[in-house]
Amino acid sequence: MSDALTAPKLDAASQKELEQFLETEQAQARVQTQIHTLTSLCWDKCVGSISSGFSGKEQSCLENCVGRFFDASDYLIRRVEQQRAMAGAQ
């Protein structure tokens, strides 16, 4: 920032607000990154040849893609936890 020396200093309340703003923006940026990753993944999985619109199959595949991704993740986590519990019981 070239105007850093002449610009008015931020008071404590403004600094706090800026911190909160940064936190929210960073959280949103993480979400965006994940959406980019998922779009790439689902595109590879669902989309065939390019035409002027998605087919019904492509459309529903894309719509289900995110939900099943999270279901798969939840399922795998539950499974690992179960296995750990079983190993602990022995």
The nearer residue to another protein, 21 or 84, going by C-beta atoms, is 21
Q: How many residues bind another protein (CB under 8 A)?
A: 44
Using an 8 Å Cβ cutoff, are 51 and 36 in contact?
Answer: no
Under rule CB under 8 A, residue 63 binds another protein = yes
Under rule CB under 8 A, residue 82 binds another protein = no
Using an 8 Å Cβ cutoff, are 19 and 26 in contact?
Answer: no
The nearer residue to another protein, 53 or 87, going by C-beta atoms, is 53
Q: HSE of 4 in the Cβ direction (CA atoms, 13 Å)?
A: 2
Q: How far is 58 from 39, CA to CA, in rounded Å?
A: 13
Q: How far is 57 from 38, CA to CA, in rounded Å?
A: 18
> According to CB under 8 A, which one of 29, 72, 77, 80 is a site residue for another protein?
29
> What SS3 state is found at 85?
helix
Residues engaged in binding another protein (CB under 8 A): 7-11, 13-14, 17-18, 20-22, 24-25, 27-29, 31-36, 38-40, 42-44, 46-47, 49-54, 59, 62-63, 65-67, 70
